Each structure stands twice: as C-alpha cells, then as structure tokens.
C-alpha cells in the first residue's frame, strides 16, 4: 500500500509539476516581452552611472517550491553526485520571476532603466524533516527616471 501511495505521489508530482512549470514559463515569456523597453544593467565599481532626476531602490522576491517528483529525483542524484538538472528549471524560473517583479514595480514608478541589479538566494527548509524544499530568490536594483 505504501508503494502505491509513493508511486501516485511521484506521478502526480511529475505531471502536475510539468503542467504548472510550463504555465509559469508561458507567463514569464509574455511578461518579459512587455518589459523589454526598460533595460536592466549592472555597472562595475568604477563606471559612471547615468544621469538621473530621481532614483529609487526596487526589490523583486519570489519563493518557488519543489514538486514531489523533483524532490525524489534530486535525492537520487544526491546519492551518486553530478548536476542537479531537475533543480535548474526551478532556479531559472525563480530568477526570471524575481527580476520581472522588480522590473514591473520600477516600470509602474516610471523608471527608464534599472541599474546595478543584483541577486540573492536562500534555501527554505531544504534539509528539514518537514519535507518542504523551496528556494527564495530576490532581485534588487536602482531604478532611474
């Protein structure tokens, strides 16, 4: 009986995870097209910043959780080592979503560009016994208008 429950959870995790991941990518691609007119730039420490009438710090943050299939696949990969391919799309979606949220807030403020963009990540409960495995990704930058 436990094996049946396990297989059902793996199957539901795989198919539901694939579906929701594809829907999220569709949303991300559409929103990225809508925000192309505002460039996002990272400058070095010795580069001159563009002239600005006003500036403001903007932050975009997202928490993305694993599905049961990715958690199981990641645990198997952890036994033998190597690239954690099942988590790469999770990180990619999180990074793009955080950047979009930051950019959308800056556009609503009236920004012409966002400079010195940086990313921060943190793991939420990845090694705990609760089974929750998620990643928080935060993008922040200075918007100029």
pLDDT at 131: 55
CB of 16 within 8 A of CB of 67? yes
Query: For the chain, what is the mean pLDDT?
Result: 87
Section 125-135 average pLDDT? 63
Question: Could you tell me which residue, 135 or 118, shows the higher pLDDT?
Answer: 118
User: Could you tell me which of 111, 100, 106, 110 has the C-alpha nearest to residue 34?
Assistant: 100
Q: How many CA atoms lie within 13 A of 99 on its CB side?
A: 24
Query: In which element (H, E) is residue 58 found?
Result: strand 55-65
pLDDT digits (tens, 9 = 90+) for 56-113: 999 999 998 877 777 777 778 778 888 888 788 888 999 999 999 999 999 999 999 9
Looking at the whole model, is its pTM more than 0.95? no
pLDDT at 129: 46
pLDDT at 103: 97
* Domains recognised in the chain with CATH numbers: 2-144 (3.30.110.70)
């Amino acid at each position: 009986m436990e094996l049946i429950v396990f297989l059902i959870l793996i199957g539901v995790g795989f198919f539901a995870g694939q579906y929701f991941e594809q829907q999220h990518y569709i949303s991300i691609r559409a929103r990225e097209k809508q925000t192309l007119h505002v460039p996002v730039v990272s400058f070095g420490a010795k580069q001159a910043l563009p002239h600005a009438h006003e500036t403001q710090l903007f932050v975009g943050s997202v928490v993305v959780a694993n599905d049961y299939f990715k958690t199981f696949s990641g645990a198997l990969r952890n036994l033998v080592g190597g690239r954690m391919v099942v988590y790469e799309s999770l990180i990619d979606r999180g990074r793009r979503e955080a950047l979009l949220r930051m950019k959308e807030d800056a556009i609503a403020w009236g920004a012409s560009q966002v400079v010195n963009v940086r990313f921060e990540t943190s793991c939420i409960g990845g090694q705990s016994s609760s089974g929750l495995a998620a990643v928080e990704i935060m993008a922040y930058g200075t918007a100029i208008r």
